[in-house]
Amino acid sequence: MTKGVRRPKDDGPPPDRNYPIPWFLKLTIGVIVLWGIYYMATNFRPYPGYLTAFHPHPGKITGTPVERGKYDFQTVGCMSCHTVGPYGGTLGPNLTHIASTGVTATFLHAWLSNPAKTMPGATMPRLPLSKRQIDDLTAYLLTLR
Ligand code: HEC
């Protein structure tokens, strides 16, 4: 008889490599989760508006269009590329005096709605803005003399 390669005996399927979680770990995790639920349940003190307090666009939209436009300008990402006054990014043109360049509301509206359509090859992305936000941003930009 020839000596072949030694093979392990066929012991059935290979052993399960997903080591089971030991019971004491399960118990510890369970205790922590239950304590967490208990903690949250006993410390839950809703106050008026607790669901909307940190929401950037509370249901009631207040302020003048210019104020809302300024707020949007500072919160929707325009300033990552554009500077107004001392603050902002430099990828896009400085908008500190944009209203003095003879730019019109019609142009701004079209530009903010879809830069690439207004100027093919535009770098500025089309931001997901509502019609109201575009109106407000236009009003705000026209104050930057
Ligand atoms: C990713 C960078 C980026 C973001 C974000 C961005 N812009 Fe721009 N923007 C540009 C660039 C770059 C230009 C120059 C034209 C071009 O190449 O697209 C420009 C051009 C403009 C212009 C025309 C300026 C001129 O001199 O004619 C206006 C107005 C403007 N952006 C307003 C905004 C507003 C408002 C927002 C926020 C809603 C915004 N931009 C967000 C990059 C950006």
**Complete domains list, the chain, with CATH:** 65-141 (1.10.760.10)
In angstroms, rounded to a whole number, what is the distance separating the alpha carbons of residues 68 and 62? 8
> 132: pLDDT confidence band, cut at 50, 70 and 90?
very high
pLDDT at 60 over 60: no
Residue from 82, 83, 143 whose mutation best tests the ligand 1 pocket (most atoms within 8 A of CB): 82
Residues 6+ apart with CB under 8 A from 117: 110
User: Is the CB of 134 within 6 Å of ligand 1?
Assistant: no
> 1: pLDDT confidence band, cut at 50, 70 and 90?
low
> 4-8, 17-21, 53-57: which range is least confident on average?
53-57
> 24: pLDDT confidence band, cut at 50, 70 and 90?
very high
pLDDT at 44 over 70: yes
- Ligand 1 centre distance from Cα of residue 93 (Å): 7
Residues 6+ apart with CB under 8 A from 95: 78, 82, 83, 84, 88, 141, 144
- Residue closest by Cα to atom 6 of ligand 1: 78
Would you state the structure tokens that stand for residue 124, as one six-digit string?
């500025």
In angstroms, rounded to a whole number, what is the distance separating the alpha carbons of residues 138 and 65? 9
pLDDT at 91 over 90: yes
In angstroms, rounded to a whole number, what is the distance separating the alpha carbons of residues 82 and 64? 22
Coil vs helix vs strand at 88 = strand
User: Is the CB of 108 within 6 Å of ligand 1?
Assistant: yes
- Ligand 1 centre distance from Cα of residue 95 (Å): 9
30's enclosing H/E stretch is helix 23-43
Q: What is the pLDDT of residue 54?
A: 53
What's the residue count for the chain?
A: 145
User: Is the CB of 73 within 6 Å of ligand 1?
Assistant: yes
Rounded to an integer, the average pLDDT of 80-88 is: 91
Which atom of ligand 1 lies nearest, measured to the CA of 91? Answer: 12
CA nearest to 66, candidates 140, 127, 144:
140
Average pLDDT, the chain: 86
